[in-house]
Structure 1
Amino acid sequence: MDFVGPIIGILPTLWNCTSNRIAIIRHLQENLTSLRQTRNELENISKDVRSRVERAEQQYCKRTNQVEGWLESVQLKLEEVHNILQKGEREIQKKCLGSCCPRSCYSSYKLAAFSG
């Protein structure tokens, strides 16, 4: 009977881990909405920076490697976010049981965890 105590001690940890993952899957739509809003903010900042850089270039200033690298990394992140949002929308459309349960919990979890 000495093994019962450690097993009972593990149960709350397992429950917390499982319930956190279930919450992530359940909140996929909200996470995607939040990601979409953050993407829009980043796009606006990127547009502002590009405008400033173009104005500076018209005044014979040269674009630095740091600025060029930032603009390129922002573009890559925006493309990555676009792909995540598309996958997320497909996951939401694939839900079953009256749209409350994802068909693939694993892929929904990966998307929700990454987008949240």
Structure 2
Amino acid sequence: MGNICSFSISCDALFSHCADFTARKAAHINDLKDNILTLQTELQKLLETRNDVLRRVIIAEQRHMRRTDQVQGWLSRVQTVELEVAELISDNAQEIEKLCLG
């Protein structure tokens, strides 16, 4: 009879562990979705800033001024980030599906 009781406790502990794991996984998936939305918002802000800087650069170049290396480097880094974020966002749905199925 003692074996049955300890088995019951083990099952309860196992169920509790599984429930905790499922809750953490659901929270992780939800956090991933939230993080992707935040990433999209921040990318949009960055692109708006880039567009403002590009307008200023174009005006300056029309006045026969040259881009500084710092400005050109920043614009290049923005382009790299834009491509990386686009790739992350396109892979987002697949990653969430993997997490749900896994």
Question: Which structure is higher in helix share?
Answer: 2
Unmatched segments (≥5 aa) in structure 1:
1-17, 96-100, 105-116
Aligned residue among 60, 77, 91 for 2:81: 77
- The TM-score with structure 1 as length reference comes to 0.60
In 1, distance between residues paired with 2:91 and 2:52? Answer: 29
Report which of the two structures shows the higher radius of gyration computed on alpha carbons: 2
Is 2:33 aligned against 1:35? no
Q: Secondary structure at the match of 1:62?
A: coil
- Percent of aligned positions with the same letter in both sequences? 35
In 2, distance between residues paired with 1:89 and 1:37? Answer: 17
Paired residues for 1:18-97 under 5 Å: 22=25, 23-92=27-96, 94=97
* 4+ residue segments displaced more than 4 Å: none
Deviations 1:38-83 (A, max 9, x none): 1111111011101100100001111111110000000001100111
CA apart distance, 1:25: 3.0
Unmatched segments (≥5 aa) in structure 2:
1-20
